[in-house]
Chain A
Amino acid sequence: MARISSSQYLWLGLLVLALILHFSPGPLGAFVTYPTEWVVSVTDQMNVAMRWFVDAFGPVFKAIGWLLEWPVFAAQKILAFLPWSVTCFIFMALSYLASGWRLALFALAAMLYMAGIGYWAESMNSLAIVLISVPMAIAVGFGLGVFGFYSKRARRIIMPLLDLLQTIPAFAYLLPILILFGFGTTVGLVASVLFAFPPTVRNTILGLRAVSAEIIEAGEISGANARQLFWKVRFPAAKSQILLGVNQTTMAALSMVIIASIIGGTNDIGWEVLSTMRKAQFGESLLAGFVIALMAMLLDRITHAFATRDRAISSDEKALKSWHLVLAIAGAVWLLSLVVPALAEWPENLVFDPAPAMNTGLENFILNWRLVLEAIKNSAFFFVMLPVKIGLIQAVSPFTWGFALTPVLSFAYAAALVVIAGFALVRARAAMGVTVLLIGATLYIGLTTMPWAVVLAAFVLLSYQTAGARLAIGTALGLGFLVIIGLWPQSALSIYLCGVGVFICFVLGSGIGIWAAHSQTVSTIVRPVIDTLQTMPLFVILIPFVMIFKIGEFTALLAIIAYAIVPAIRYTEHGLRNLPPDIIESATTLGATPAQLLFKVKLPLALPAIMLGLNQTIIYGISMLVITALVGTNGLGQRIYIGLGDGDFGVGMTAGIGMAIIAMIADRITQSVSLRKQQALGLKTEML
């Protein structure tokens, strides 16, 4: 018989409470569904406040927006003016200098695709915003990073701010910016600067701090003054790390520029994807999405290569000389394009447009495979999503499953759960028994119909057990806020969809990760796929799933899985591959079978890394969840989307903050579990 610990009693108590509230709430009904008359709506107040703010400061922002528009216009004009061949050459040269011939060839292919598919102008319009926003984000990020490095007090303010900026969903950014600056390219620019600068801050601080004390001392003893110590010692020694931040900043900027096109009115490539997707022209949408993917990969590879390239092959003077050469050749190409018009403007008749063919092909495919696709979709819906969402008790009906839950069946279900849990208890697995009961009850009641008081209490309890009283209080306040302002139903839906997605990602992703850790072949196949998925702007991932499964929650779930599975795989593989070799060796000598080795040695040791992977999976899942509002999910994402559509600051912003609250709670819980395990095992695991 296993002993049940006091915390497990707490969980069992919660379970009993849930069952009581669910079956006979009596006067406690207010704890099941929060009464609408108790809701303290803050949206109106927020709107009033915002309106006041806009009235008071609107002109200032408009003026700033007007100023910011100029460089973007200039960049767009220049890129539109340059013959495609010149731009193409410059990118090839950049790629070559950063990494070598292979990247240069990739750049050529990507540029040819953009021109050849007929999206050159749109691509360049998006690129122009990125080219302006990245330097601005880097300047802001580097400045704040240096400030934060030198001042502990500044760091204490900057760090939580970065956390907030990085957990607030991308869509929610757009809303206040839209209201303050009004329609125009400025929205995309400002949003992408705000969204993109945090990684530069983080990496700047990280890099500057990592410079070894000896290097600093060597600089001092060589007689460096304060300025020299920074610019000639600290900064160059931290440069690789800072450039990695620049790489992340670039990717975030691009991703935000694409997302920002949702406000419309811009003739850029993100808008192309969205508008064609709305018109169900999936062929066009996919082709345009591919442009974004290529642009993302190209920018990623170039900036990444600059950050990590070998110092030996890149001395400053050589670089300077090669730049002169690049400019000279670019000039020559330009002159040539004056003579050969095809080099200036991609010829109409060479535009390759497979979209109509793709659309027909797709239609045929969907037509021919309709039954299979429907079957997949429906079974996933009925057997996975519905039971958890509504609870078996309502979901299992003749209408959906062909039979209803009679009292006898319900009783049998309950009895089976109790038997399994009891068996686990007898086999000294108290935790497992309690878990079985909890999951069983959740399935039965359904997550969204679960009394809010129970869900809140469960999260508070979890926070307390994993991270202590402070997080528990934070969780109670955060979720309590969502309940009081009346966002609980949407929050529960979001938690549900994201939770299911994360669970599947975690199971599937760890499985693939384990496999990849043991097989080089799998690893070499998986690596580029997940790399690509990770650099892909969120939008693009949606496209193939919408194409095949149309809009709906199932599509959203697939998109979430496709995106959020990346960290689950990556961290599991990384964790398993970087275990202390002596421990593995000693376990092997002790005669552990491969299975024992995996389950009794490797996985427990890799747990901190896997938990960090879970953490990232959740964060990825949540950021994708917001985007899936585009394909018709309900929940907080949808509210943000509505707020954005109506220009309703209160609605959009509260939902955005709600998302951020959920993300932060999930982040802190998983982080602290990982940290505890790391300390217990005496290991150190970094974020990848």
Chain B
Amino acid sequence: MPGTDPTPLEVKLSCRHIWKVYGTHPDRFFSNKSGRLPDGVDPLNHAQEIRDSNHIVAGANVSFDVHVGEIFVIMGLSGSGKSTIVRCLSRLVEPTAGEVLLDGQNLLDINKRELIEFRRHKMGMVFQNFGLMPHLNVLDNVAFPLELQGIDVKERRRRAQEIIDLVGLEGREASFPSQLSGGQQQRVGIARSLAVKPELWFLDEPFSALDPLIRKQMQDEFLRLQRELHKSIVFITHDFMEALRIADRMAIMRDGEVVQIGRPVDLILNPVDDYVREFTNDVPWELVLTAGDIADPAHKFAKGMGHISADTSVATLLPYLADHEAGVVVRDGDGNDMGVVNARRVIEALASGVQNPAQVGM
């Protein structure tokens, strides 16, 4: 869940200096395939140079890690290169330069056959407009990746059925995509991407084609699935509230570059520039700030004070604080007391946050 689980993490997928350049001669800007520029060359200047020679820089020196069991969210304005980067990770788009390490192996070094094997067993992807096969019904759509592997009809349908039950589509197996609502179609997309039991799960704006109510419902569903399945996830969205709900960590992109990486609350509290701040501006603080973020360790504990877990949002806390002037003790996941939060502390945090979020004390 967001903001919890501080245990040191094993890296699942790691991308290093990924560049994607569109144009007539994308290769001529790179002396080697690793994407590392010669000493002294600033990536940002290099990207600008490429643009100046009439090429499109869809990804510029992108590096980040995705940990096992983590939901890593990529955000950015339209055209900032999110889809390009996530497609580079699975080589649906061939990066111009860089490295993609899956469990330490560079995916860009392997040949087509090995890549197909990787896709068949390790990756799943959910698309914005679902990308369902119009000629297959729900059951066969979900079984499709298994069919490609040559698994026989009975077995693959049995396995597809399990996943259909998991995403709550039982009863619609014989329907065709065109007969389903948007939300149902995306459940099929999700089920299909899970059919091969992938370790890596890519989702490219999976819910943005859905209306707000269904979107919320699908997010809950998604989080429920993740609690059950514990995949390593790269999730793209341009809705900050969505990122907030689901992200363990997130990256913000602009013009193909990663501007900032961190926990959502870090981005809110310490945005590196106005671009990032723009995203976080409209966030309702009381929903984002948790008791842990504003607990005051210096404050005196008093007898009879209640205690509360660190990830409780301020919004949930407010009614309680209205009745308990002294405040409440905040406890972290391991049961250690972190400090005290009282109404005054909350008001200070909210007020300063609105004016100058960077100065809210931790």
Contact = CB atoms under 8 A, between A and B. Distances in A.
Interface of A: 212, 214-215, 217-225, 228, 232-233, 236-237, 239, 311-312, 315
A214 B119 contact: no
B256 interface: no
B120 interface: yes
A222 B148 contact: yes
A392 B144 CA distance: 73
Contact of A215 (B119, B133, B193): B133
Given A223-B120, A311-B134, 10 more contacts: A214-B130, A215-B134, A217-B127, A221-B90, A221-B202, A222-B145, A224-B116, A225-B113, A312-B174, A312-B176
B175 interface: yes
Contact of B133 (A217, A218, A225, A228): A218
Given A214-B128, A233-B133, A237-B133, A225 B116 contact: yes
Given A212-B129, A237-B134, A239-B135, A223 B148 contact: yes
Contacts of B176: 311-312
A228 B87 contact: no
A214 B135 contact: no
A218 B116 contact: no
A218 B179 contact: no
B135 A218 contact: no
B280 interface: no
A223 B145 contact: yes
B127 A228 contact: no
Nearest to B117: A223
Contacts of B87: 217
A224 B179 CA distance: 26
A53 to B, nearest CB: 45
Given A218-B125, A224-B148, A236 B133 contact: yes
Contacts of B189: 218
Contact of B92 (A212, A221, A228, A239): A221
Contact of B125 (A215, A217, A228, A237): A217
B137 interface: yes
Given A228-B148, A232-B148, A221 B133 contact: no
A225 B150 CA distance: 12
Which 10 residue pairs of A and B lie closest in terms of their CB atoms, listed nearest first? A223-B120, A214-B131, A218-B131, A222-B145, A223-B119, A236-B135, A221-B125, A214-B127, A223-B116, A215-B131
Nearest to B92: A217
Given A236-B133, A237-B135, A312-B179, A221 B119 contact: yes
B123 interface: yes
Nearest to B127: A214
A212 B119 contact: no
Nearest to A224: B148
Interface string B202-224: 10000000000000000000000
B4 to A, nearest CB: 30
Interface string B157-197: 00000000000000000111011000000000100110010
A231 to B, nearest CB: 11
A565 to B, nearest CB: 35
B120 A218 contact: no
Size band of the B side of the interface?
A: 35 or more
A219 B127 CA distance: 12
B124 A221 contact: yes
B132 interface: yes
A315 B144 contact: no
A215 B125 CA distance: 11
B78 interface: no
A312 B87 CA distance: 33
A224 B192 CA distance: 14
A222 B120 contact: yes
A221 B148 contact: no
Contacts of A315: 137
A218 B204 CA distance: 12
A214 B129 contact: yes
B133 A220 contact: no
Contacts of A311: 134-135, 137, 176, 178
A550 B170 CA distance: 69
A221 B137 contact: no
Contact of A220 (B119, B121, B196, B202): B119
11 contacts: A212-B131, A214-B131, A217-B87, A217-B125, A218-B125, A220-B92, A222-B145, A225-B116, A236-B136, A237-B133, A312-B176
B147 interface: yes
Given A221-B90, A223-B116, A239-B135, A232 B125 contact: no
B332 to A, nearest CB: 39
A223 B193 CA distance: 11
A217 B134 contact: no
A217 B131 contact: yes
B149 interface: yes
Given A223-B148, A239-B135, A218 B119 contact: no
Contacts of A232: 144, 147-148
Q: Which of B145, B148, B179 has the most CB of A within 10 A?
A: B148
Nearest to B179: A312
Contacts of A220: 92, 119
Contacts of A219: 133, 148
Contacts of A239: 135
Contacts of A218: 125, 127, 131-133, 189, 192
A184 to B, nearest CB: 42
B187 to A, nearest CB: 15
A237 B131 CA distance: 11
Contacts of B124: 221
B135 A222 contact: no
B159 to A, nearest CB: 14
A228 B130 CA distance: 20
A236 B134 CA distance: 8
Interface in B137-161: 137, 144-145, 147-149
A239 B135 CA distance: 9
A209 to B, nearest CB: 15
Contacts of B120: 222-223
Contacts of A233: 133
Nearest to B87: A217
Contacts of A221: 90, 92, 119, 123-125, 193, 202
B238 to A, nearest CB: 17
Contacts of A225: 112-113, 116, 148
A352 B87 CA distance: 70
Contacts of B112: 225
A225 B134 CA distance: 19
Nearest to B120: A223
Contacts of A215: 131-134
B315 to A, nearest CB: 37
A123 B286 CA distance: 81
A431 to B, nearest CB: 43
A236 B140 CA distance: 13
B274 to A, nearest CB: 34
A312 B127 contact: no
A378 B90 CA distance: 76
A312 B172 CA distance: 12
B311 to A, nearest CB: 34
A315 B132 CA distance: 17
Contacts of A237: 133-135
A222 B116 CA distance: 8
Nearest to A239: B135
A270 B149 CA distance: 52
Contacts of B175: 312
Contacts of B123: 221
Contacts of A222: 119-120, 144-145, 148, 192, 196
A369 B135 CA distance: 59
A312 B117 CA distance: 32
Contacts of A224: 116, 148
Nearest to A311: B176
Nearest to A235: B135
Q: Which of A219, A223, A228, A236 has the most CB of B within 10 A?
A: A223
